[in-house]
Amino acid sequence: MSVLTTTQLTRLRAGGIAAFVCALCYVIGFVMILAVMPDINTDGDERLRAILTHSGLIQLWYLVIFVLFGLALLVLNRSLYQPAYLQSGHFQLLGALLGYMWAAYVFASGLIAVLTIQYLIMQPTEQIERIWPAIFAIQMGLGDGIEWVGGIWMVMVNASMQRYHMAPASLARFGVVVGIIGSLTVVPALSLAGLVFGLLQIVWFCWTGSLLVRGQITTSAVHFSAINGANTTR
């Protein structure tokens, strides 16, 4: 096993902290939905009433669970993959691409949700009910409660860790199972899978974060540089 450089350790530890931030964002999201404001995801009318009553709180909630999560995910994704100028396996390249796509997706979704709420509450009372269906459709159409993009990323990143022996096999296998569950949310009848996916992702983020902070997850470049003649292009 090769020795990690200071730069590599810094990148891994930053990713570990980011993973814990991702887990915290999920916890805040669940607390809001299950304890503070359980009616927000009931239906359109209930959500509208919740937004009009607690607009500031809901905007802050969206900023945390989408925007902050997206930024933390960027850092985590960066720590799991070696720099582009180094030789990378196909699994790694595809996983990195999906990670950046998911981060951009949730970041944009969060900003759009916050801005549409701000637009809504600035309208005259008689206009709110007329424009609300369009705003509700935008929020739901962006994937509110659907985690299939993250599920696919989970499958790829954990398959990559398994393929290149970057982390304990138990973590990688657990992550693949979590990712498959998240991917099922694309089926409307299996929307409950989103709840299971979120809870299991908290475990995965904390597990991965603890390993990254201790420098116990390596990029394929670090791992395979200790193996003469290893080919990382597959």
Residue 36 counted as domain residue: yes
Residue 231 counted as domain residue: no
Q: 77: buried, middle or exposed (CB in 10 Å: 19+, 13-18, 0-12)? A: buried
Q: Please tell me the distance from the alpha carbon of residue 107 to that of residue 99, in angstroms, as a whole number.
A: 12
CB 166 within 8 Å of CB 160: yes
Higher pLDDT, 90 or 14: 14
Q: Lowest-pLDDT range, 53-62, 65-74, 83-92? A: 83-92
Q: Please tell me the distance from the alpha carbon of residue 11 to that of residue 29, in angstroms, as a whole number.
A: 27
Domain encompassing residue 175:
6-224
Tokens found for residue 223: 């791992």
- Mean per-residue pLDDT over the chain, rounded: 84
Count: domains in the chain: 1
3-state secondary structure 156-204: HHHHHHHHCCCCCHHHHHHHHHHHHHHHHHHCHHHCCHHHHHHHHHHHH
Q: Please tell me the distance from the alpha carbon of residue 74 to that of residue 5, in angstroms, as a whole number.
A: 22
Mean pLDDT value of segment 138-150:
76
Q: Please tell me the distance from the alpha carbon of residue 41 to that of residue 43, in angstroms, as a whole number.
A: 6
Residue 99 counted as domain residue: yes
Higher pLDDT, 223 or 196: 196
Whole-number pLDDT of residue 206 = 98
pTM: 0.86
Residue 229 counted as domain residue: no
